[in-house]
Amino acid sequence: MPEGSRISAEEALRLRHGSAEDQARLAARAARDAGLAGDLEEWDRQDAALRALYAPVADEPVPARLTASVTAARAAVRAPAPGIWRIAAALALLALGFLAGWSGARMLQPPGPALAETAMASFATYAVEVAHPVEVGAEDEAHLVKWLSKRLGTPIRPPDLSDEGFRLIGGRLLPGETSPAALLMYEDEMGRRLALYVTRREGGETELAFAEEPGRRAFWWIEEGLGCALVGDLPRDTLRRLAISAYHGLTDT
């Protein structure tokens, strides 16, 4: 390949993960090719993000049942009989498959509660809106409740948080992971806002759990096919008290 020609992404990746000589050749090309240099910087950022997310998995102990399978495979390999060799090879492959499946499943798990993350992102998007924080205002609450309940496929009602100093100002419909989601917005006299995120979420139920990101916190739970999260920029204890009120407001009849 002529030294001055542009290389493909596949070739660049091969050199990047190759020998020290390959990496030196790639660095020399990048010094003369701004596009390639940009690709390398982006790959470095992606690698750093992956390490930050998944490096803790490498520190977790391998389950005893898997290490036992590997130990058994190694012991079988020491036996001279041809039939045992075949069994040992099969055991080794099986053990490696278990290990890969276990670590792969761990790595595919999200770094945090996806429900809370989505709720906090929605809060960050709409709580700052001055003119259009909601689609349907609280003055038309009956229509809001009917609309959101129909789209979610289950009856919901906005919890009354007025005893806690927050009044409903309205709500909106959002896309969810597997079904639409409702976002109900509340506000107090100081202009502080809360958002209650509600969506369909099948699977195991959870206790009240806490999540936090810069500038916002959430208490979330899953019960009776609904995933809910109350989000705001309030002290943790205050937000927890409000989340308990919201929980009872949604579920008590």
- Whole-number Cα distances in Å, 207 to 138, 145, 155, 227, 244: 29, 26, 21, 11, 11
Q: What are the helix (H) ranges across 109-235?
A: 114-126, 141-152
User: What is the per-residue pLDDT for 252?
Assistant: 60
The SS3 call for residue 167 is strand
Is the separation of the CB atoms in 232 and 246 below 8 Å? no
Cα 21 to chain centroid, rounded: 38
Answering whether pTM is above 0.75, one says no
How high is the pLDDT of residue 131? 85
- Residue 154 · residue 225 · CB < 8 Å: yes
State percent of the chain over pLDDT 70: 70
